[in-house]
Structure 1
Amino acid sequence: MQKYDIVIIGSGLGGLLCGAVLSKEGYSVCVLEKNGIPGGCFQGFKRYGRMLDTGVHYIGSMDEGEILHRCFSYLGIMDEIKLVRLDEEGFDRIVYPDKSYSYAMGEERFIETLARDFPYERENLQHYMKMISDIASAVTVDGFKKGRISTSNLDVFSLSAWKTIAGITQNERLRHVLSNPAMLYGGDKLVSTFYIHAMTTSSYLHGSYRFVGSSMQLTDALIRKIEGNGGKVITLAQATAIRCDQNMVSGVEVNNRGLIQAKYVISTMHPMKTLEITDRTTNIRKAYLSRLSSLPNSYGFFTVYLIKKKNADRYINHNIYFYADGQDAWHRTSFPDDKGVVGVLTSMRPNEHDIRYTNVVELLTPMLYQEVEPWKDTLYERRGDDYRQFKERKTEDILRFVRQFDPSVLENTEHIVTTTPLSYRDYTGTPEGSAYGIMKNYQNPLSTLIPIRSKVRNLFFAGQNVNMHGVLGVTLTSLISCSELLGEEYIAKKIGNS
């Protein structure tokens, strides 16, 4: 029977970060992945000879001295991932039919750039940026050096993202422009917290980067570190039961067969899915399970991959968000019954062999699970003709929308590949194909912020369902999970001083 100090369920970013940190600090670690390819949102898949990314399109906080850069430096993987820094004067371009706006890197540059388009809003922009900075200052490298991963308190989770933005300016277009990061955390105008908005915005202002080639290189780098530290990452290994003895986890059953013994278990699965496979103990009460099962998930995405002729399309070093007139980034939850396309994120990666060109252009629009629910009980590539026709109609809707802004979008396109929330669900294991996990609700933050510690003493949670969405959020919650074993001061100082 295999024995490890720690078994980690799930090989997405959260699971691999926990595995890399804990194995580096001397624990014997085993990471279990139910699919054949590890990585979660950082896994890739190949179509027509091109590697396509599942979920991550760009990452923030990667300038030297920023949090993610420091974490990856501590793990020794910065030299193993190839990145390109996005345009400093406009890493995100927000385009309406009549005008476009730029998100520039750096707080002062961000204010100055938007103040040129909104000259009477300079003071409001300064006020907005101060609010962003005040919240983001709870997570800094200096804080890590002092032994604190975060100094946030619950009060900051009680601010509404939309109401805060609406209270800063009366200019409707500026409200829309400042809301743009909502698409990066599945923002809901009715419930999303300004804390998530502020942390997401600040992250990208302090170093927005793209992977050159596939984002799966981060997955590969973390796995090499885990294995180099003596740990294991096992694919096609589904955790089918978490065994308990006297309110303590004793091990994880894999594929309904063998048991892997463990002193601790960290699960990056949805907390409800984790507890569904956990032996019932006196600590896991029905009321707790009922609360977890009632928490809503964020929306998913419909993605169109335009596979281009080799070295035919020039690489563009920024993201482009196209919006219909009067629309903003909250549209999918503001109008849940409207299935029309009113906003599209256009992104691309530089070719790893020649960064002047791109091989794949991605078009993403938010999609609620209800649109694909009729096929929820089907399997990938076996969903039937009606599903294929649904995807073709949605693809044409997206292309028709984008052509209003870029009539040449299909030039040099050899093939088109599409994915839906069902694809995301099947590839990453997220409920309803949710892109960002459990929605965080400013009206009752305690109900949607999941504690790292479960009701079972040596079972911990990690991943974006726990605290904050996105790459930065998953990294921070993974470190907090690790701190339960290593101590917050110890691991924070090691990373801060790396």
Structure 2
Amino acid sequence: MDRKFDIVIIGSGFGGLMCASVLGKHGFKVALLEMAESYGGNLQNFVRDGLVFNTGLHYIGALEEGQVLNKIFKYLGLMDRVEFEKLDPECFDRIIIADRTYCCASGFENYAQRLLSYFPEEQEAINNYMSLIKDVWAKNPFLNFREIDPNFDYSMSFSNTGLMDAINSITSNEELKAVLLSNNGLYAGVPGRTPFYVHALINCLFIQSAFNVKGGSAHLADAFVSIIKEQGGSVFTGKKVQAIKSKDLKAISALTADGDEFFAEAFYSTIHPAEAIKLFDKGVFRKPFVQRIEKMANTIGSFVLYVTLRKGEFAHIKSNIYYSKSQDVWGAVYKPEEWPKSVMMYTTEDKGLPGFAESATIITFMHYSEVAQWEDKQKRRQDGSYEAFKEERSAGLFAMIEERFKGFKAASASWLSSTPLTYFDYTGSPEGSMYGLAKDYKSGFGSYLPVTTRVSNFFMTGQSVGVHGVMGVAMNSIVAASKLLNINELLKEIEGS
């Protein structure tokens, strides 16, 4: 079998699939190498009790006609192959803080007006908040398809303002602050560390419009793979890259655990940067660079409950739920006795019984240190303590949901749970990190990594490089692909699609 390609991409998650399809569209012969037996990374689904559950991606923003992700997906041919379902535009996110509920409406004007209905005395603060987040979006050249210098470092377009500094500057109303920050689970926010731009870009994305992938996010991965193969590319699963051969700071080939060797003119990595640089011989990357990556903090991991519901016993909720026990909505910062502080929850509708849910997914944060003792897979299976831990934590999560949704536990027919260890096993992300490397506004650009590396034809992309999430990774992939293409011509092509 031919093992010579123009480009080899390590990892077949959204970033790898996106990068491969952009480059394939421009005539490059691409090979995607995936260590797992299935492609897609966090786009994958699994089936339990005949129901489809998403493992990562559960909703997408800015997908209306003319919006940025719509243009990108159209450009790649995805809009003709994948069906998307729009979330309730009057309440795409339902925020519950203690015993109060707030709805987030789609569209900047609608979003602001809905906030104003809850906080009529905070009109100036709400107007200032909307101006701030829209300004961050407007200043990003990639999201607005503006012509840029090809040597532009796109991390320089990000503000170094802290999230809490920005929020505190517009209001002293603690309730309003809690509402504005309640969806920080989308970026594992940490007060005193998270930059404002991360919050602003993600909020702007979903305020514009919010959709999910009909039938499960794996349909998006399937569409990507079909496109890549039609372009002449190849997707290999069960191919864990163990090393990259290089000479004179140029990558030559990728060696896989099963003894295969893939040759290419350029190599892209979408895996965690700390793992990517280990693929090269010692000394290829300078010691300060290696130490810098090793010292960079990862975002926290997650504990997730996947619940099969009894038929006709629990109403379908047409919104994402963000529920916090108090106005302290920072779920990633908790003491053991506080867990869980906040959760995200969504349900899927039973198509045979409209109005009722057939399943629910409940997500909260969890530190890797809480499960590190079970890193050894054999130990996990032997003594039963890991399963007991998961059952105990599942009970705690059920109890929190029951506080606001009476009868949920009784309506639950079966469930399974995942921990940061599950994510570590599944993706190889150190510490089971949800979003890869954490961004820290206090370190300046020290928490950012460039796409280019010392190895002239080795590039890094994915959620640890730049911004995470679908929009962030799409943007990172365009930046990475532009290292072999003309960035301004590429942006014009996408905008005109």
Which amino acid counterpart does residue 372 of structure 2 have in structure 1? E
CA contact (8 A) 1:69 1:78 kept: yes
Q: CA separation in 1, counterparts of 2:461 and 2:322? A: 31
Aligned length: 495
Q: CA separation in 2, counterparts of 1:90 and 1:148? A: 40
- What residue number does 1:76 align with? 77
Query: How far off is 1:37 after superposition?
Result: 1.2
Q: CA separation in 1, counterparts of 2:228 and 2:312? A: 36
Q: CA separation in 2, counterparts of 1:77 and 1:464? A: 21
Does the alignment pair 1:202 with 2:201?
Answer: no
* Residues 122-174 of structure 1, C-alpha deviations (whole Å, 9 max, x = no match): 11000001000000113478832646899966374310011211221100111
Query: How far off is 1:307 after superposition?
Result: 0.5
CA contact (8 A) 2:299 2:437 kept: yes
- What residue number does 1:37 align with? 38
- What residue number does 2:165 align with? 163
Q: CA separation in 2, counterparts of 1:454 and 1:292? A: 13
- What residue number does 1:120 align with? 121
Q: CA separation in 1, counterparts of 2:384 and 2:438? A: 33
Query: How far off is 1:324 after superposition?
Result: 0.8
Q: CA separation in 1, counterparts of 2:303 and 2:55? A: 11
CA contact (8 A) 1:212 1:349 kept: no
Query: How far off is 1:48 after superposition?
Result: 2.4
Query: How far off is 1:315 after superposition?
Result: 2.8
Q: Which moved more, 1:234-243 or 1:313-322?
A: 313-322
Q: Which moved more, 1:9-18 or 1:131-140?
A: 131-140
Which amino acid counterpart does residue 436 of structure 2 have in structure 1? G
Which amino acid counterpart does residue 279 of structure 1 have in structure 2? D
- What residue number does 1:22 align with? 23
Which amino acid counterpart does residue 239 of structure 1 have in structure 2? V
Query: How far off is 1:180 after superposition?
Result: 1.7
* Residues 339-359 of structure 1, C-alpha deviations (whole Å, 9 max, x = no match): 521211111234567765432
Alpha carbons of 1:163 and 1:383: their partners in 2 closer, same or farther (altered >3 Å)? farther
Which amino acid counterpart does residue 326 of structure 1 have in structure 2? Q
Query: How far off is 1:426 after superposition?
Result: 1.2
CA contact (8 A) 1:191 1:441 kept: yes
Query: How far off is 1:45 after superposition?
Result: 1.7
- What residue number does 2:465 align with? 466
Q: CA separation in 1, counterparts of 2:214 and 2:425? A: 26
Aligned pairs (5 A) from 1:126-145: 126-139=127-140, 143-144=144-145
- What residue number does 1:193 align with? 195
Q: CA separation in 2, counterparts of 1:380 and 1:257? A: 29
What TM-score do you get using the length of structure 2 for normalisation? 0.95
Query: How far off is 1:50 after superposition?
Result: 2.1
What are the ranges of 5 or more consecutive residues in structure 1 without an aligned counterpart?
none
CA contact (8 A) 1:211 1:349 kept: no
Query: How far off is 1:91 after superposition?
Result: 0.8
What TM-score do you get using the length of structure 1 for normalisation? 0.95
The RMSD of aligned alpha carbons is 2.1
Alpha carbons of 1:351 and 1:5: their partners in 2 closer, same or farther (altered >3 Å)? farther
Alpha carbons of 1:420 and 1:206: their partners in 2 closer, same or farther (altered >3 Å)? same
CA contact (8 A) 1:192 1:441 kept: yes
Q: CA separation in 2, counterparts of 1:421 and 1:468? A: 21
Q: CA separation in 2, counterparts of 1:238 and 1:113? A: 49
Q: CA separation in 2, counterparts of 1:447 and 1:331? A: 25
- What residue number does 2:381 align with? 382
CA contact (8 A) 2:24 2:30 kept: yes
CA contact (8 A) 2:72 2:494 kept: yes
Among 248, 257, 260, the alignment partner of 1:258 is 260
- Percent identity, aligned pairs only, is 32
Alpha carbons of 1:210 and 1:381: their partners in 2 closer, same or farther (altered >3 Å)? farther
CA contact (8 A) 2:346 2:360 kept: yes
SS of 1:105's equivalent?
coil
Alpha carbons of 1:459 and 1:491: their partners in 2 closer, same or farther (altered >3 Å)? same
SS of 2:71's equivalent?
helix
- What residue number does 1:443 align with? 442
Query: How far off is 1:110 after superposition?
Result: 1.1
Which amino acid counterpart does residue 79 of structure 1 have in structure 2? D
- What residue number does 1:4 align with? 5
Q: CA separation in 1, counterparts of 2:398 and 2:143? A: 46
SS of 1:478's equivalent?
helix
Aligned pairs (5 A) from 1:215-230: 215-230=217-232
Does the alignment pair 1:106 with 2:107?
Answer: yes
SS of 1:407's equivalent?
coil
CA contact (8 A) 1:212 1:351 kept: no
CA contact (8 A) 1:2 1:259 kept: yes
Q: CA separation in 1, counterparts of 2:24 and 2:349? A: 33
Does the alignment pair 1:48 with 2:49?
Answer: yes
Q: Which moved more, 1:264-273 or 1:424-433?
A: 424-433
Aligned pairs (5 A) from 1:214-293: 214-255=216-257, 257-282=259-284, 284-293=285-294
SS of 1:366's equivalent?
strand
What are the ranges of 5 or more consecutive residues in structure 2 without an aligned counterpart?
none
CA contact (8 A) 2:68 2:143 kept: no
Query: How far off is 1:64 after superposition?
Result: 1.2
CA contact (8 A) 1:380 1:426 kept: no
Alpha carbons of 1:178 and 1:223: their partners in 2 closer, same or farther (altered >3 Å)? same
Q: CA separation in 2, counterparts of 1:356 and 1:120? A: 36
- What residue number does 2:419 align with? 420
- What residue number does 2:213 align with? 211
SS of 1:486's equivalent?
coil
